[in-house]
A = this chain, B = another copy of it.
Amino acid sequence: MTDQSHTPTDAPSPGASHTMSGIENEYYSQEVHGPYETYSLGEFELAEGETLPDCQIAYTTFGELNDAKDNAILFPHMYSGTSKDMELYVGEEMALDPQTYFIILPNQIGGGLSTSPHNTPPPYGQADFPNVRISDDVRAQQQLVTEKFGIDEIELVLGWSMGAQQTYEWAVRYPEMVKRAAPIGGTARNPPQSSLLVDALISAFKLDPNWNDGYYDDHRSMRQGLRQHARTWVLMGTSADLWREEEWRAAGFSSLDDFMHRLWDEWFLPMDPNNLIRMAWKWKHADVSRMTDGNLESALEQIEARVYVLPFEEDMVFTLEDNRLEEEMIPDSELRPIPTPWGHFGMFGFRPEDKEFIDTAIGELLDESVA
């Protein structure tokens, strides 16, 4: 995405005010992830019962909302990501074309740009930040979409990993609002092995000698825990083929160490562990069947959208089989496995053909006429 095609609806709000009220972390800033705007939800009651006094949702948009307000696309982001990371799939030569669509990229609560542990003052800052659920994000996004933009039907909701979890929550919670849905590399109910991965990721932080019950002075003092977290994630987020065939070379890395340091450590080390922990908890507990007394089939049956379920063939976190089992329960759906040695991390688009496969699928879904 070039800067030119970025057309923010409003002038970017200064990110500094957020950053100053919690722990200083220049990573979560307009400079790195902007431009973005924020929408204030005011007091926002979370599913788990606590209330964030001033909940802000950061978001960015591309394209223009048309007069009929029927060209909106919503594209929430994955774990450890921000709206910026989704821009890879937005562009004039792509399915998510801002000349046609009004594309909204919301940021997760706890993701670092929206209200998050690191930027929240007492009593909810750092380790005291309450647990947030996928449903909280989706309710917040629904407020943004309806109150701020007056949209009552969305052409397509899509997302990867935790973005897929949000996509499913949207399709089940607001079936009348979602015309099409494309969950990519994620499921409606988090698989148990994926939950065990979350546990291992969180405990990596707690093992760090500087953890201090989450009241570390500076995220940089947590680099050992952040690295252990990164290395554990990479094990499960990839596939044996990626390593055996050294597919990472084609992505421009000169050695395995180069790949590990310059991609994965570089990705995670600037982040705030409390932010990651709150996102991870949300990921672990994602489950649309919370809306139907634990009955997953009943929940998925409520989906009215046309759905493309897009798993990565060798994904070890949200496996092909996990996706297949859910897809069978979704009325108007199709399973389209993405063949890539990158496993769960296929969405990063390190291999041009993966990005193209996904872009093509999104295009075909958008081309389908939906009642």
Q: Which of A82-90, A172-180, A221-229, A296-304 lies on the face that meets chain B?
A: A221-229
| A145 adjacent to chain B (CB < 8 Å) | no
In residues 188-246 of chain A, which contact B (Cβ within 8 Å)? 191-193, 196-197, 199-200, 203-204, 207-209, 224-225, 227-228, 231-232, 234-236, 238-244, 246
User: Complex formed: what's the CA distance from A319 to B239 in Å?
Assistant: 10
Inter-subunit contact A225/B207 (CB<8 Å): yes
Inter-subunit contact A241/B321 (CB<8 Å): yes
| A1 adjacent to chain B (CB < 8 Å) | no
Copies of this chain, count: 2
Instruction: Kindly list chain B residues whose C-beta atoms are within 8 Å of the C-beta of A239.
Output: 193
Inter-subunit contact A196/B244 (CB<8 Å): no
User: Complex formed: what's the CA distance from A244 to B195 in Å?
Assistant: 11
CB-nearest residue of chain B to A316: B316
| A359 adjacent to chain B (CB < 8 Å) | no
Instruction: Kindly list chain B residues whose C-beta atoms are within 8 Å of the C-beta of A203.
Output: 227-228, 231
Q: How near does chain B come to A284, taking the closest CB pair, in angstroms?
A: 12
Instruction: Kindly list chain B residues whose C-beta atoms are within 8 Å of the C-beta of A225.
Output: 207
Instruction: Kindly list chain B residues whose C-beta atoms are within 8 Å of the C-beta of A64.
Output: none
Inter-subunit contact B200/A228 (CB<8 Å): yes
Query: Which of B224, B236, B241, B319 is within 8 Å of A235, CB to CB?
Result: B236
User: Complex formed: what's the CA distance from A244 to B189 in Å?
Assistant: 11
Interface of A is mostly: helix
- Tell me how many residues of A have a C-beta within 8 Å of chain B: 34
Inter-subunit contact B256/A192 (CB<8 Å): yes
Q: How near does chain B come to A195, taking the closest CB pair, in angstroms?
A: 8
Query: Which of B196, B199, B243, B322 is within 8 Å of A193, CB to CB?
Result: B243
Inter-subunit contact B227/A191 (CB<8 Å): no
Q: How near does chain B come to A192, taking the closest CB pair, in angstroms?
A: 4
Name 29 interchain pairs, CB-CB below 8 A, sorted by A: A191-B240, A191-B243, A191-B244, A192-B244, A192-B256, A193-B240, A196-B231, A196-B234, A199-B231, A200-B228, A200-B231, A200-B235, A203-B227, A204-B204, A204-B228, A207-B224, A207-B225, A228-B228, A232-B232, A232-B235, A235-B235, A236-B236, A240-B316, A240-B319, A240-B322, A241-B321, A244-B321, A244-B322, A316-B316
Nearest 8 A-B pairs (CB), nearest first? Answer: A192-B243, A209-B209, A193-B243, A240-B319, A207-B207, A200-B231, A193-B240, A207-B224
